[in-house]
Amino acid sequence: MKFTLRIWRQRGPRDRGRLVDYPIEISPDASFLEMLDVLNERLAGAGDEPIAFDHDCREGICGMCSLVIDGTPHGPEQATTTCQLHMRKFADGRTITVEPWRAKAFPVVKDLVVDRSAFDRIIRAGGYITAPTGTAPEAHSIPVPKPDADLAFQAAECIGCGACVAACPNGSAMLFTAAKATHLGLLPQGAPERYSRAVGMIAAHDELGFGGCTNTGECTAACPKEIPQDVIGRLNKDLLRAARHHDPGA
Amino acid sequence: MTVHNPYLVGAPLADTKAPAGPIENRWTTRKFEARLVNPANKRKKTIIVVGTGLAGGSAAATLGEQGYRVIQFCFQDSPRRAHSIAAQGGINAAKNYRNDGDSVYRLFYDTVKGGDYRARESNVHRLAEISTQIIDQCVAQGVPFAREYGGLLDNRSFGGTQVSRTFYARGQTGQQLLLGAYQALMRQVGAGTVELHARHEMLDLIMVDGVARGVVVRDLVTGAIGSHTADAVVLATGGYANVYFLSTNAMGSNVTAAWRAHRHGAYFGNPCFTQIHPTCIPPSGDHQSKLTLMSESLRNDGRVWVPERAGDDRPPGDIPEHERDYFLERRYPAFGNLVPRDIASRAAKNVCDEGRGVGPGGLGVYLDFAEAMTRLGPDVVKAKYANLFTMYERITGENPYRVPMRIYPAVHYTMGGLWVDYDLQSTVPGLFVIGEANFSDHGANRLGASALMQGLADGYFVLPTTIGDYLARTSAGEVPATAIEEAENRVTATIDRLLSIRGDRTVDSFHRRLGHLMWEYCGMERTAEGLRKAAELVPALRAEFWSRVDVPGSGTDLNQSLERAGRVADFLELAELMVIDALHRAESAGGHFRAESQTADGEAERDDENFAYVAAWEWNGPDRPPILHPEALEFEYAHPSTRSYK
């Protein structure tokens, strides 16, 4: 297959950046990232600097790959990370535009690489259950109803890629934050810190420059793990309750 | 180095840290005998942890909780990306929740046997003991393991065992366990006990009088070289399967930190023990960058087969039942499709070698769910394996609900790694190595669902005890500026050299070539002849690398070619050692199958008389033969027997 790749090149955070066209010929069985590998190999062979992009496991689970492809985070295929997107999904001969995540809280590092450390800071602000090592009770002493476990699991599947932020017109990380609040808040082990967790994570979220949530739903549509929008409702409910009854630290 | 004398033999190694006495008491005794650091002094002790996977993440979180000052590094943009996240299947624990006769002793026994009697009994027993605590810890953290309708934890079975002791979170167990450790870690970062540096790569050790006292790291964004000193250094940097270029490892997985420690005197244990995983998606073309593993748990319900007749290229649905060969069930009736990984991989290779493989190039066997769909119904199959089926369809374009999956073995896990004693300390004092980066516990073959168990056992429970003993016994002084300067100079010199060659070949072209050589001569089946050939070809490739590689860009910003170049340079050196180790071990054991050492019916033939030892290798310079230090293995409990799964 033949494509024209129109790729965002930006030398560093202070460079203005521009789109550059690269023709490429590639097997339909290649993944999107393998296509970039092939292009990079060609650039390196010609002594040019390859295009920087983030990727690691290439199995759709580490959340490190990104890329806005033709305006959509992770490209056109539903519920798919860029590393799991294959070229057979594109019409031959097309021009494909490739850009980095764009959000205030995710500054560009170089080319297609952005800094997503803000997500770690949200987790740091309460996205955990306080369970120091070696103090845990016997696992079977905490039964969890299967429906709760399944819902918690669904929220826990978030891979922290940031597609939700890239897709959101407000640059909000509400889906990411709410997924973690839902995962932990649904489990009996997570109940004691449920409200302080919600309050802490949201405070960090806002402070880090993520925008507010207006329920446009672009986040869920772009999420490669199909985290449902309900989680945002849950987080909002937790926040309301926290404001009315709970944590004085809120 | 001459091919006639590829290595020297040095003094044997004795691991003296495991207490004597009955095996079930050894860890308890060691914990009691370990000296303690009082809480006020813990604040004054600094520990560096390199890597944030299951082992590194859990270790740093726990050490932080204990009150130590921890400095941690990972090369990814976040600790949550460590490759442990991609482990699919599950984690073993001897909880006996299924009342099927499981016990700590049985898990211990299965693991020693599964490792083909090339692991240490004391370590393995400790691992089995701790396994139950790991599940408790993870559940308390909110890891959403699969549950029964009664609210209790569900289990399934895995390759190499006949009991159901594997805890799982759909096909994403590694992800959920890692996120548990990551969250515990971020809590400590928030509490200020752990100082975290993402996008930093360790490039050298700082050594003072033979003791590890810090690391030199490169900030991968700015290119800045920096130094951090500590009272002890912990490497939790994973395995080196990417030496083969194509493997199931993440693209960034590498051996650099471990290898550079090796160059400072940390012995490398059993480097030739590589696990080939039987259930991976076959490669599709030259663009291939990695191979994708499909969880071994699929073999619980999927049946493995090939056509009876060589060259039968009918679509699978057109091949009648009586013309199919369910070769695992036929050859290993007791374990069937659940034989351990080394056995399943080799059996698949054999049928492909006979010309009965399926798919492109005949490099594949079927993993068929048709029978399970009839027996369990599509909904149950979907509930159990949906995400794996989806992943398979994305990659291959085929729907596994309708046609059988095609699978082929691929390089997956490395049982070798830096040698450690019972305390997980390397031969460099002050340097501890945990998780896949060390050689211990799995012997010559790792059982499914045991990698996650070892990573977390080391990180949450073993290291935090044993490192305390080391810290209580040593009082580290100031690190002299000259030691830091020397280490930084070494790093800068290597980077400058890589950037100045400006040759005519890319980094990846060397990596691919190396991978090809290793798969060909040091892959699933090894021969003395092939290994001797590799012992000439690999050093030649290394020489070519240092004269012809072209690393574009500079050292002062994000330069992914430069990162890879350094890692490939280390893989090239490691590969030589793997070949020498494989050549010297003239027996078949687990993942190391020497064609000259097999029984009449094609099974691996171990040689306990001559090889019941760990081969720990000492670095002796880049072009000098390494020195072999054997550590004899004694089996008091799990008596070596022929490993039979028939």
DSSP string, B105-170: HHHHHHHHHHTTT-S-HHHHHHHHHHHHHHHHHHHHHT----B-TTSSBP-B--TT-SS--EE-ST
DSSP string, B411-472: EEEE--EE---TTSB-SSTTEEE-GGGB--SSTTSPPTT-HHHHHHIIIIIIHHHHHHHHHH
On chain B, the residues whose CB falls within 8 A of the CB of A24 are none
Pairing, β B166-167 against β B194-197: unpaired
What's the distance, Cα to Cα, between the start and end of chain A in Å?
A: 56
Residue B396, SS3 per DSSP:
helix
| Distance of residue A48 Cα from the nearest chain B Cα, in angstroms | 6
Which residues in chain A have Cβ-Cβ distances shorter than 8 Å to B189?
120, 124
Q: What are phi and psi of B226, to 5 degrees?
A: -135, 160
Tell me, what amino acid is at B107? L
Contact present, B610 and B594 (Cβ < 8 Å): no
- Tell me, what's the pLDDT at A246? 57
Q: Tokens at residue B43, please?
A: 């604040």
**Residue B47, strand partner residues:** B70, B232
Tell me: the pLDDT tens digits for B37-86? 999 999 999 999 999 999 999 999 999 999 999 999 999 999 999 999 99
Contact (CB, 8 A) for B527 and B596: yes
Q: Taking Cα atoms as reference points, which of B146, B166, B174, B149 lies closest to residue B456? A: B174
Query: What are the tokens at B358?
Result: 């399926």
What are φ and ψ of residue A11, in 5° steps? -65, -35
User: Does B3 score more than 50 pLDDT?
Assistant: no
B-facing residues of A in 173-212 (CB < 8 A) are 183-184, 187, 189-190
Residue B330 has pLDDT above 90, yes or no: yes
Among B251, B393, B406, B463, most A C-beta atoms within 10 A, so best to mutate, is: B251
DSSP-assigned beta bridge partners for residue B505: B549
Q: What is the DSSP letter of B461?
A: I
Rg from Cα positions in chain A: 20
Is the CB of A136 less than 8 angstroms away from the CB of B394? no
- Name the closest residue on chain A to residue B190, using Cα atoms: A124
Whether the predicted pLDDT of B159 surpasses 90: no
CB contact under 8 A, B395 and A127: no
Active site residue B341: yes
Nearest CA among B95, B89, B88 for reference residue B164 = B95
Q: Residue B617: what are its φ and ψ, rounded to 5°?
A: -105, 135
Coil, strand or helix: which one is B475? coil
For chains A and B, CB pairs below 8 A equal: 224
Identity of the residue numbered B361: G
Q: What is the mean pLDDT of residues B138-163?
A: 91
Angle at B203 between CA B202 and CA B205, to 5 degrees: 90
A120/B189 Cβ within 8 A: yes
Q: Are B168 and B146 in contact (CB under 8 A)?
A: yes
> Which structure tokens are listed for B108?
């211990």
Yes or no, beta carbons of A146 and B149 under 8 Å apart: yes
> Quick one: pLDDT at residue B312?
94
Choose the closest CB to A57 out of B58, B86, B137. B86
B134 to chain A: nearest residue by CA?
A134
Q: What is the mean pLDDT of residues A98-118?
A: 98
Given CB atoms, is A26 within the 8 Å cutoff of chain B? yes
Tokens of B269: 């244990």
Q: What is the mean pLDDT of residues A158-171?
A: 98
Q: Is residue A229 over pLDDT 60?
A: yes
Q: Buried b / exposed e across B459-471, counting CB within 10 Å, b at 16+?
A: bbbbbbbbbbbbb
Assess whether pLDDT exceeds 90 at residue B602: no
* pLDDT class of B285 with cuts at 50, 70, 90: confident
A143 in B contact zone (CB under 8 Å): yes
Handedness of CA B297, B300, B303, B304 (dihedral sign): positive
Instruction: Give the position of tokens 């471990």.
Output: B258
From B185, which residue of chain A is nearest by alpha-carbon distance?
A124
Measured in angstroms, the CA of B350 and the nearest CA of chain A are apart by: 27
In whole numbers, what is the pLDDT of chain B averaged over residues? 95
Dist. CA B202–CA B198, nearest whole Å: 11
Inform me whether the pLDDT recorded for B1 exceeds 70: no
Query: What pLDDT sits at residue B2?
Result: 43
Say yes or no for a CB contact (<8 Å) between B139 and A116. no
Q: Can you tell me which residue has the tokens 């270790």?
A: B59
What's CA B469's distance to the chain center, in Å?
27
What's the mean pLDDT in B369-390? Answer: 91
Tens of pLDDT along A45-87?
998 999 999 999 999 999 999 999 999 999 999 999 999 999 9
What value does the mean pLDDT take over residues A156-162? 98
CA distance B220 to chain A (A): 11
> Tokens 């793997």 correspond to what residue?
B578
Count the neighbouring beta carbons within 10 Å of the beta carbon of residue B86.
23
Q: Do A62 and B552 touch (CB under 8 A)?
A: no
Q: Is the pLDDT of residue A247 over 70?
A: no
Q: pLDDT grade, residue A248 (50/70/90)? A: low
Task: Report residue A212 as tokens.
Answer: 């507010």
Q: Cβ A133–B184 below 8 Å, yes or no?
A: yes
Q: Choosing from B341, B406, B446, B567, which is the catalytic residue? A: B341
CA distance B27 to B6: 38
State the greatest distance between any 2 C-alpha atoms of chain A, in Å, as a whole number. 65
**B194-197 and B69-73 strand pairing:** parallel
**Residue A53 backbone dihedrals phi, psi, to 5 degrees:** -150, 150
Residues of chain A by 3-state class (helix, strand, coil), percent to 5: 40, 15, 50
pLDDT at A181 over 90: yes
Q: What percent of chain B has pLDDT over 70?
A: 99
Instruction: Calculate mean pLDDT across residues A98-104.
Output: 97
Q: Residue A188 carries which DSSP code? A: G
As given in the structure block, the two tokens for residue A94 are: 């097309």
Sign for the pseudo-dihedral over CA of B306, B312, B317, B321: negative
Q: Quick one: which of B213, B646, B112 has its CA closest to B429?
A: B213
Contacts of B612 (CB under 8 A, 6+ apart): B117, B118, B632, B633, B635, B640
What's the average model confidence in pLDDT over A157-163? Answer: 98
Q: Is the pLDDT of residue B160 over 80?
A: no
Q: Is the pTM of this model over 0.95?
A: yes
Q: Is the pLDDT of residue B579 over 90?
A: yes
- Going by pLDDT thresholds of 50, 70 and 90, the confidence category of residue B386 is confident
Laid out side by side, the sheet with B431-433 consists of B194-197, B69-73, B46-50, B232-235, B431-433
Is there a contact between A84 and B251 if contact means CB atoms under 8 Å apart?
A: no
B611 has a pLDDT exceeding 80: yes
pLDDT at B30: 98
**Candidate from A27, A44, A130 with C-beta closest to B287:** A27
The amino acid that residue B90 corresponds to is: G
Cα B440 to its chain centre, rounded Å, is 10
Q: Which value, in Å, is the radius of gyration of the alpha carbons in chain B? A: 24
- CA–CA dist A245, A238 (Å, integer): 10
Mean pLDDT of B118-128: 98
* The one-letter amino acid at A209: G
**Alpha-helix runs per DSSP H in A90-188:** 117-124, 146-156, 163-167, 174-185
Classified as helix, coil or strand, A100 is coil
At B74-109, the pLDDT tens digits run 999 999 999 999 998 899 999 999 999 999 999 999
Q: Within 13 Å and on the Cβ side, how many CA atoms surround A164?
A: 30
Tell me the chain A residues in contact with residue B190 when contact means C-beta distances shorter than 8 Å. 124-125
pLDDT of residue B410 exceeding 90, the answer is yes
Residue B500 clears pLDDT 80, i.e. is over it: yes
Answer yes or no: are the C-beta atoms of B91 and B456 closer than 8 Å. yes
Residue A250: per-residue pLDDT:
44
Question: Is the confidence at residue B265, as pLDDT, over 80?
Answer: yes
DSSP SS3 for B509 = helix
